[in-house]
Each structure stands twice: as structure tokens, then as C-alpha cells.
Amino acid sequence: MEYSLKSFEEYFAQSEVIRMNHYHVDGRLKHVMLSHQFSIQLLEELFDIADRVKEMTRKTNGIEFLKSLLGHKKAMLYFTQPSTRTFLSFLTACQMVGMDTGEVRDPSLSSEYKGESQEDGVRVFSSYFDIIIMRDPKPGFCEYMAYLLDNTGRSVPILNGGSGKDQHPTQALLDLYTIHRSFQQKDGIRKKRYAFVGDLLRGRAVRSSVMLLSQYKDIEMDFVAPSSFQIAEDLEKILHNQGVKINKTDKLESVLSKVDCIYMTRIQDEYDLTGESNNIDYSQFSLTTENVKKMKPSSIILHPLPRRNEISPNVDADPRAMYWRQLRNGVYIRAALLLYVFNVAHRLDEY
Amino acid sequence: MEYSLKSFEEYFAQSEVIRMNHYHVDGRLKHVMLSHQFSIQLLEELFDIADRVKEMTRKTNGIEFLKSLLGHKKAMLYFTQPSTRTFLSFLTACQMVGMDTGEVRDPSLSSEYKGESQEDGVRVFSSYFDIIIMRDPKPGFCEYMAYLLDNTGRSVPILNGGSGKDQHPTQALLDLYTIHRSFQQKDGIRKKRYAFVGDLLRGRAVRSSVMLLSQYKDIEMDFVAPSSFQIAEDLEKILHNQGVKINKTDKLESVLSKVDCIYMTRIQDEYDLTGESNNIDYSQFSLTTENVKKMKPSSIILHPLPRRNEISPNVDADPRAMYWRQLRNGVYIRAALLLYVFNVAHRLDEY
Amino acid sequence: MEYSLKSFEEYFAQSEVIRMNHYHVDGRLKHVMLSHQFSIQLLEELFDIADRVKEMTRKTNGIEFLKSLLGHKKAMLYFTQPSTRTFLSFLTACQMVGMDTGEVRDPSLSSEYKGESQEDGVRVFSSYFDIIIMRDPKPGFCEYMAYLLDNTGRSVPILNGGSGKDQHPTQALLDLYTIHRSFQQKDGIRKKRYAFVGDLLRGRAVRSSVMLLSQYKDIEMDFVAPSSFQIAEDLEKILHNQGVKINKTDKLESVLSKVDCIYMTRIQDEYDLTGESNNIDYSQFSLTTENVKKMKPSSIILHPLPRRNEISPNVDADPRAMYWRQLRNGVYIRAALLLYVFNVAHRLDEY
């Protein structure tokens, strides 16, 4: 009658492919952990749901219909790592589909001071809520909890809301959804040239989105970064294997006029060990109204936000600036994901 | 294609009249910033809505009807300055009309540590929510954000929930609503003598309510305060220009039997620079059951709360004590304001 | 016209019986303060409501029906003492029956810094909400507030969510509800032998549950604790008077095979004055898969959670381990209590 549960280390000693298999049930995605869980087919299914959600939110009765879809479900927002924008995006996505929510945001308020293990703590949430949306600073914690809950009495879906330095799958979803919508009349996501600018080594949004993009055909990518913050070697290797054409440079000017999409990021100096960000001339990795003029008229500018100075607020009015729209798309695609995970998206036809 | 947005300083270099024009759209109030945006006509419209809301909350089906009115709207409660009572009053007002809410209360939890500007932060909220209710310690921030949002892609109404030392328009609304209800059988708000007692220099509730009251006919005002905390000169001038009869004194006894309404306030020593409140004999500016006996039987006692010792808890049972009722009126008038701002008050007729 | 309100000290100078009378209105429980307010008859009424609630939550239309029952009521969750699990249990119970909620969890965010009395603060909540669910570190505060609110203009029910060291009535309810369900086919709660293990002196859950259990017929209790943490003398006296057969020991082994239920608790070292917990060999008061083997097949294991090491996670898979179920039962019984307090439980028949 005893469990033979794997320890954290044993769990991650398994290959990613084996782990990813656990996150599907009956051929459907249950736990949303890694951006590369999303195939092109699944992405397009989600984009379609998100389009319909977005359309419905334009009318009062559409909003009310959406709220009727998951009124019987409750979500726990477990954000022990500070976050305002992702937290509120998930919160409003939950509200959009009618879910009640509870939250834990400040670990010091929790009962962990009483010596409870974090695993027990999360299991408590799974007893009260139907899904757990989780951002935790400990890399892999979210995946390990999904495994533990699946192997105890009460398993609920877990959505990774951003973990450690590496994964932020719903950010990747909203990035691709925004690209999809922007290029809808222009052959879609494929056959495009994408530039990623800034801190490409430590930005988890970039990593997740690059992985997703690499599935599409005829993609070319420019990585514009100070040499110390260029993309990780393992990621580069993966892209090579996928047949993605890659260029690395530290000259933003050299790519401006050539790309279809510029994805800007900020320098993630909260991950500095010895102040290594101080040596960077940020202005070389920033967009002003001046250099935006060199971009193609049909190109787009993305940014996962929050921004510092890497995009001048004066650029906001440019029709190619998509980052505020990208932010709102995050709510639609997250609402779509909730409808998918609870398998009620088909009910949208009833509207 | 570039914006030509005014800086904070440029914006406030404009006259108040010009700024106030921006806060109206199509002849209706959009942003609630300053108490003097409310004309007597608009006040009476709001009082009427609030009366009907209050009436409806007495019955289960009335409560349920109210909750159906704004179920398609979401409110952001952005309270970066500590507040329990105003926050909860707005929260319950939102719930009363069926709105979903999100909140930011502790600035340290926000993503501002990532170097985002507060302007970008608020713009994020406007992407997720349909209205922003805001209390921020920075004077004018709330007005400036309304201006910025109006001039960027996504403009939503902003309600000032109390800013800096000067403005707290919804407190003024609930004060006047309480006076209106108390004097409904006695000719209403006009033709009355009002005493304001306590810290009249630094209490933002007093300032806002005095401004609103001054619009009514045949008003006399007694300002009872230690000389160092008497009303500001600019406010006195405005009242003179409006034809309000004014008396200043530091003797509470001298006005007790003469006035129709006593508005008590606490000494706002959180604004002390050098402990100037320490020299005050608070007992001279306090109500006890003894001195309440000298008041007219038809008079009323108000207090914006929280109180310290300026009103003895023994006074609470006196039928003239209106401050607890005033607190509840705050929820009704705030719910009324939400119905007005989203232009659904006419739907109350359907009930 | 003056109140003659009792002071805190005067209030508690009254006998408990007199105080408990105040907590009933028209023969029904209004304020939930002490576990011994619950008679066996009332417990069975609540268990029956909870059973039906639990059953309904299995179906979407059952969940939706439950949410329609108290959609017209609002609850304040006032938790100035840290708590995650009890807080979330009450929150989800409120959501389950459709109530809106507001919360105060971090006293530093409150307006108490402005010098307001805590009594005024709670009265504010009673103006905004229809019920107050309260956990406060000050012993008796919750009871005293119920008294004050009953004797001022606006009285709302108060639920004690755990106060000081002594009372946690809804924990007792969920403990007994779990026992009731576990022994439903075996003559129910009576005629059983119960062991309580761990810190029996300072665990408020134990105290409340022991009091409730003692009402049932033919109960035997084993108290297994280090001698310095054995049950309080007053509690022992009460049990003697009720005719409960008692055994005290510090040998867990000696009772394992004899009892029908083991109620494990953790050592509450947060109440240590001089590190007195350090002298205890915890392993002597812990359950492992090894010693669980000695228990009767029909017996059950309870724990109020959070746990530390007093139950090995390997025990979780044992069918006798009821503590995770106990946690979920907490939501059902709290929802049942809300339906009872607002007197809408009879409406369950409409489903």
C-alpha cells in the first residue's frame, strides 16, 4: 500500500520526453509546463478559440455567455514570485470565463512558518481548487508538483505561470498569438524573419517563444545582443537541428530594415551575479522613433513587458508597435487555454 | 505619427477649468477627479440613483437585479496608499453592481522593481480592466494618468479614491448624500449652518465637502480649529467669492447650539513635519455626551472616520449621530456613481 | 440615550452559559464562537446539510444551484493572524454558496495606523458585509465584538475562525464530520475509542474536538503526549464530569492496536516560552508505515494539518489516512454552516 514516489532528483533524471508524456491525458494537454508541449495544430486550435473569445467580449451578452462556461470551476493563483502583470492577466482570464479564484502571493502570510512542506501546501490547494496556476522561483517545482498530485488522491491541472529562468509557456502562447494575428493576411507565422533583441541569455520569454517559432517552416532568426548575453548554446543547437537559419550580431542597425518582426527585451539584471549588466551600452539595444523609421512598413514590434528604456514611449503610437495589443492578447489566449484544459471550448458554438 | 504628450508639469500648467473639460465626454462625467466636478443637478441625479440602490438592497431579488447591471465590467482597485475603509467601500460597491475586481494594494508586490514606469504600470491595468479606482500618494498622478490614457489607445474611466492632501471626491459625495437624506424633510441641504471641527487645514475630506456645499444657497459655515489648523486661505477666498457666510473660531462651545450639522474630523498628525500636533488640546475639539446635549434636536453629527477620541463612543447611540450611517451611504453612492459612469442607471427602471 | 456597554473585562466576568445565550437568536445559532455551542442534534443537522452540499458539488448544475443560494450575501474574512488553509477553506466555502467576499489579512495594511480602535474597525466591516469570519490573536476578541455589534445599530453574525490557544469551532466541526462519515456504517461517532497524540496542551483543534466528542455516549479517550504537554486539568475535569473514560500515557505503541481513531497533532512550538519543545523526542509521537500496521483495519487517522514529521508522507496512501479527506470535508461543513446561519438550508430541497 506504500507509494513509490520519485524524489525531485529522480523525477528530473528522466528525459523530458518521458516527463512530457505525463502531462497529457487521453491525448489532451492536462498540465501546461513547457512551451514545446504545443504543436502547431494545438496552437491553431487555441488561436481559433482565442479569436472567438475576443470577438465575444465586444458585446455584453457575449461577455455574459463566456462567464457561464466555467462558473462551476475555481482557480488557485499561487504566485510566490512577485508578479503583477502575469498575475492580473490570469486573474482577468479566469474572471472572463466565470471562474472563482483564490490567491497566495506573499509566502510570508502562508502557514509554511508552521513547518509544513511546500508539497503539502500545494496539495492543500488541490483540495480546494480545480486548477492551480503557479509561479514559483524554484526551477522545476511546478513540474514536480504536477507529478506528485497525479500520483496521489487528488490531481488537478497545473499551469506554469513562469518558473525560474527558463520556462514561461503562456507568454510564448501570447507572443505567437500576436504574431499570428498580425500576419494573418500575409501567409501567417511561417516564411518570416524574426529579430530578438536584448538579454537573450536570461530572458525566459525569449527562450519559450523561440522554441515555439522554430516549429514553423522557413523561419529565419536574428539574435541581437551583447556577446555576453547571446542565446544559450543548447538553444542554438536545437534551432540548428530544426533547420532554422540563424544570425548572431550585436548591431541592431544591421537588421532593422530586413526583419518582419522585432522582439525587444529588457536586460534582466535581477539575475546579475557580479553586476555584469553594468558594462552594457543599453542604447545600442533600444528602439527610438528614429531607428523605427528604418523598419519595413509591414513589420511589427513586440515586447513581453515590463519595459525600461529599450523602447521609447514615443514609439507606442507607431502602428507597428504591437506590445500593448500583445498584453491584451495574453488575456484572450489564457482564457482560451482555460476553456481548452477544462474541455468546454466546444460550447462556444452554443452562443 | 509621433504623440506630442504633455509632461506632468506641462499638464498641470494648464488651468483647472481646461483640465476639467477633459474629464467629460459627450456632456457626461467620465473621470471622477475633483469634487467640484459635481454640479447640484448631477448631485441630485446621483442621490436619486443611490436612493433606489439602497431601496433595492433590502430585498433578495433587488440585490440580484443590481448584480446583473454591470456583470460585464471589471474594476481595478489600485490603492498604493494604505486604506481599509475606502478600499472595502469601493470593493463592496463594485460587488453590489456585479463587477469583477482585481487589486493592487502593496506596491512592493508589483513589478515596479523591474524598472517599469508607473505610467506603463497603470496602462497595463487599463488593458485588463474597464475602470480604474485609484488612491496614490503622489498628488495629481491620478489626473495625469487619465490624461495619458485618454491620449493613447486604451482609455478607461478613472475614479480618484483620495489623492494627496487635497482631493477625495467620493468622500464629499457620501457626506452630501448623508446631509441630503438627513434634511430631506427640512428643505434639504441649503439654508443651513454647518460647523467643521478639527484639522481643517490638512483634512482632505473637509476640503472636498466644503467645496461641494458652497454651491448651495444660504449656507453658513463655522470653522472650529486650533489657529494653526484653520482652513487654507485659498479655500476661504473661494467661499467668500461664492457668497458663503463664514465664521472662524477655536471655541467649539460657541457654535454647538447654533448649527444644523457638526462635521468632526481627527487631527491628521501623519502629515506633521515637526510634531506640531503635540501642542493641541484635543479635548477642546471633541464631542462628549455632555456637549452633545447642547446641540439642536434636529441637528446631525458627521465624521469621515476613522475616529480617535474626537467623538466619544457613548455618542454613537444618540439619534443625531450619523457617522455610521454615513459610512454605509458611501457604498450606495459609490455604487450609484459606477452605474452613472457606465451609463446603465436608466436600467433601474426595469426592476 | 446612552449605552451602558460592558467593558471587555466586565463581559468576560459573566459566566460562559450567559454569554452563550447571547449567541443564539430565536432558538437558532447566530454567532459561532465555541465548539460546545453545538449539540448533537445541531451537529447532525449540519452533517446532513454538508452531505447534500458534497453530493451537489459532483455535478455542474448542482454547483450552479448552490451558488444561487447566497448570491445576495457578502462575507468579510478578517484574518489578522496568519493562516492559509483555514482562510482558503472559508473562502472556497463562501464561493461554493455564491457569496462575495472581502478580506483583511495583513493588519499593517489597515487604517489602524490612524489610531482607530479595533472595535470601530470591526464595526466598519459590519456596515459593508453580512457576516464576519474572524481569526484574531487576541483571546476573546471575537466574542466581545459579537456582543458589541449586537448592542449597536448593525449586528451581523460572527464566525470564530480560530482564536488564541483555545477555540477553533469549525475545525471541531470538520473533525467530527469526518469521523461521522468514516463510521457511518459502524454505529457512528459513539461507542468508540479515540487517541489524541502530540501537543495536547496547546493545540486548540484538540481541545475543541474533545469537547464536542465528549457529548456522545460510550466514548473512551487516550491522551498520548509528553508529560509536559498533556491535556489541561480543566479539560480533564470536564471529561470526568461527562463520564468519559480517560487514559493518559506517553507510549504511542500502547494504544495503537486498541483505538478506532488516532488524532495526530504537531508540537505547537510557536507557543514556546523558553524552548520547552526542544526536550521532546518527536519520533515517539509520530506515525510511520511501520507502526500504522499495528492499527485496526477499520480504524482511521486524522490530523488537523499542517503536519511536520508526525505523519510520514508514506502513510498518505493508507486507506485509513483520512486527513486529506478531512481537509476537503472542511469546505463542505463550512458551506453547510453558512447555509444554516443564513437559514437557507431548507432551499436545498428545491434542487
Mutate to test the interface with B, among A66, A79, A288, A305 (most CBs of B within 10 A): A305
Give the H/E segment covering residue C322: none
Write the DSSP string, C7-24. PHHHHHHS-HHHHHHHTE
Is residue A79 within 8 A of residue B91, CB to CB? The reply is no
Same domain flag for A49 and A145:
yes
Give the H/E segment covering residue C199: none
Is residue C74 within 8 A of residue C44, CB to CB? The reply is no
Cβ-defined contact of A319 to B124 (cutoff 8 Å):
no
Residue B197, all three cell numbers: 471641527
Distance CA A35, CA A167 (A): 7
Specify if B3 maps to a domain: no
Q: Which residues of C touch B331 (CB under 8 A)?
A: 127-128
pLDDT digits (tens, 9 = 90+) for B306-328: 898 899 989 998 999 999 999 99
Residues 117-136 of chain C with CB under 8 A from chain B are 117, 119-121, 123-125, 127-129
The pLDDT assigned to C235 comes to 92
Distance CA C319, CA C301 (A): 9
Same domain flag for B131 and B224:
no
Cβ-defined contact of C316 to A152 (cutoff 8 Å):
yes
Q: Of B71, B109, B110, which is closest to A106 when you measure between CB atoms?
A: B109
Is residue B312 within 8 A of residue B273, CB to CB? The reply is no
Q: Provide the phi-psi class of C175: left if phi over 0, else alpha when psi is between -120 and 50, else beta.
A: alpha
Is residue C197 within 8 A of residue C264, CB to CB? The reply is yes
Distance CA A284, CA B175 (A): 56
Is residue B330 within 8 A of residue B338, CB to CB? The reply is no
Does residue C96 have a pLDDT over 60? Answer: yes
**Which range marks the domain in which residue C196 is found?**
169-328
pLDDT digits (tens, 9 = 90+) for C167-213: 899 999 999 999 999 999 999 999 999 999 999 988 778 888 999 99
Query: B93-97, C34-38, C112-116, C285-289: which has the highest mean pLDDT?
Result: B93-97
pLDDT digits (tens, 9 = 90+) for B131-155: 999 998 888 889 999 999 998 768 9
C109–chain B nearest CA distance, Å: 6
Is residue A188 within 8 A of residue A180, CB to CB? The reply is yes
The pLDDT assigned to A109 comes to 46
Mutate to test the interface with C, among B56, B58, B83, B85 (most CBs of C within 10 A): B85
CA distances from A252 to A175, A256, A258, B182 (A): 21, 6, 11, 68
Is residue A177 within 8 A of residue A333, CB to CB? The reply is yes
Mutate to test the interface with A, among C83, C87, C88 (most CBs of A within 10 A): C88
User: CA angle C121-C125-C127, nearest 5°?
Assistant: 115
Question: Do the bridges between strand C245-249 and strand C261-264 make them parallel or antiparallel, or are there none, so unpaired?
Answer: unpaired
Specify if C2 maps to a domain: no
The pLDDT assigned to B112 comes to 53
Look up cell 475614479; give the residue: B159
Q: Residue A288's closest CA among A220, A197, A225?
A: A197
Tally of structural domains, chain A: 2
Count, in order, helices (H) and strands (E) of chain C.
Answer: 13, 11
**Minimal-distance CA residue of chain B relative to C109:** B82
Q: Is A190 helix (H, G, I), strand (E, B) or coil?
A: coil
Residue A232 burial by Cβ neighbours in a 10 Å radius (0-12, 13-18, 19+)? middle
Q: Name the CA radius of gyration of chain C, rounded.
A: 20
Percent of chain A residues topping a pLDDT of 70: 95
Residue ranges of E strands in chain A: 24-25, 28-29, 74-79, 100-104, 131-135, 158-160, 193-197, 220-224, 245-249, 261-264, 300-302
Question: What's the CATH number where A243 sits?
Answer: 3.40.50.1370
Phi and psi torsions of A139, nearest 5°: -60, 135
The pLDDT assigned to C2 comes to 45
Does residue A63 have a pLDDT over 70? Answer: yes
Residues C42-73 as b/e (b if ≥16 CB within 10 A, e otherwise) read ebeebbebbbbbbebbeeeebbebbbebbbbb
Is residue A245 within 8 A of residue A222, CB to CB? The reply is no
Q: Which residue has the higher pLDDT, A147 or A205?
A: A147
Same domain flag for C206 and C285:
yes
Q: Which residues of A touch B3 (CB under 8 A)?
A: 313-314, 316-317
Specify if B208 maps to a domain: yes
Specify if A304 maps to a domain: yes
CA distances from A70 to B329, C144, C315 (A): 34, 41, 35
Report CA B97 to chain centroid distance, whole Å. 19
Question: Do the bridges between strand A220-224 and strand A193-197 make them parallel or antiparallel, or are there none, so unpaired?
Answer: parallel
Same domain flag for B175 and B323:
yes
How many CB atoms are located within 10 Å of the residue A26 CB? Answer: 6
Distance CA B142, CA B159 (A): 8
Residues 6+ apart with CB under 8 A from A32: A23, A157, A158, A159, A160, A169, A170, A337, A341
Same domain flag for A119 and A185:
no
Positions of B annotated as catalytic residues are: 85-86, 114, 135, 168
Distance CA C173, CA C144 (A): 22
Same domain flag for B175 and B100:
no
Report CA A69 to chain centroid distance, whole Å. 24
Is residue C340 within 8 A of residue C25, CB to CB? The reply is no
Same domain flag for A88 and A195:
no
Tell me the residue type at C82.
P
The pLDDT assigned to C115 comes to 73
Tell me the mean pLDDT in the region C108-129: 76
**Per-residue confidence band for B108, with pLDDT thresholds at 50, 70 and 90:** low
Phi and psi torsions of A91, nearest 5°: -55, -50
The pLDDT assigned to B271 comes to 74
Same domain flag for A53 and A153:
yes
C77–chain A nearest CA distance, Å: 13
Of B270-274, C33-37, C49-53, C310-314, give the lowest mean pLDDT range.
B270-274
Write the DSSP string, C32-70. B--GGG--HHHHHHHHHHHHHHHHHTTSHHHHHHHHHHS
Q: Which residues of B touch A67 (CB under 8 A)?
A: 71
**Contact with chain C for residue A67, Cβ under 8 A:** no
Tell me the mean pLDDT in the region A188-210: 91
Helices (H), A156-270: 169-182, 204-213, 233-242, 253-256
Residues 6+ apart with CB under 8 A from A234: none
Tell me the mean pLDDT in the region B275-293: 87
Specify if B296 maps to a domain: yes
Q: Residue B196's closest CA among B263, B148, B129, B257?
A: B263
Is residue B165 within 8 A of residue B253, CB to CB? The reply is no
Specify if C350 maps to a domain: no
Distance CA A299, CA B69 (A): 42
pLDDT digits (tens, 9 = 90+) for B54-71: 999 999 999 999 999 999
Q: Residue A85's closest CA among B105, B136, B135, B104?
A: B104
Specify if B274 maps to a domain: no
For the stretch B268-276, contacts whose Cβ atoms lie closer than 8 Å and that sit 24 or more positions apart, written own/partner, are: B268/B199, B268/B202, B268/B203, B270/C113, B270/C114, B271/B165, B271/B202, B276/B228
Does residue C271 have a pLDDT over 90? Answer: no
The pLDDT assigned to B2 comes to 45
CA distances from B20 to B14, B27, B32, B38, C221 (A): 10, 12, 10, 11, 73
Report CA A323 to chain centroid distance, whole Å. 14
Distance CA C264, CA A245 (A): 62
Tell me the mean pLDDT in the region A2-25: 87
Helices (H), chain C: 8-13, 16-22, 40-56, 60-69, 85-96, 118-128, 141-150, 169-182, 204-213, 233-242, 253-256, 289-292, 323-341
Write the DSSP string, A2-26. ---PPPHHHHHHS-HHHHHHHTEET
Q: Is B227 helix (H, G, I), strand (E, B) or coil?
A: helix
Is residue C217 within 8 A of residue C244, CB to CB? The reply is no
Specify if B106 maps to a domain: yes
**Contact with chain B for residue C281, Cβ under 8 A:** no
Same domain flag for B335 and B312:
no
The pLDDT assigned to C277 comes to 77
Does residue B336 have a pLDDT over 50? Answer: yes
Q: Residue C34's closest CA among C130, C170, C186?
A: C170
Phi and psi torsions of A202, nearest 5°: -110, 0
Same domain flag for A157 and A209:
no
Active-site position among C30, C168, C181, C202: C168
Cβ-defined contact of B2 to A270 (cutoff 8 Å):
no
**Per-residue confidence band for C267, with pLDDT thresholds at 50, 70 and 90:** confident
Distance CA B190, CA B207 (A): 18
Residue C284, all three cell numbers: 515517539
Q: Which residues of C touch B324 (CB under 8 A)?
A: 123, 127, 152-154
How many CB atoms are located within 10 Å of the residue B272 CB? Answer: 12
Same domain flag for A212 and A158:
no
Tell me the residue type at C124.
V
The pLDDT assigned to C112 comes to 54
CA distances from C237 to A4, A77, A315, C242 (A): 46, 46, 77, 9
Same domain flag for A231 and A304:
yes
**Contact with chain B for residue C3, Cβ under 8 A:** yes
Tell me the mean pLDDT in the region C129-140: 91
Distance CA C258, CA C221 (A): 11
Distance CA B299, CA C306 (A): 56
Q: Residue B78's closest CA among B32, B155, B131?
A: B131
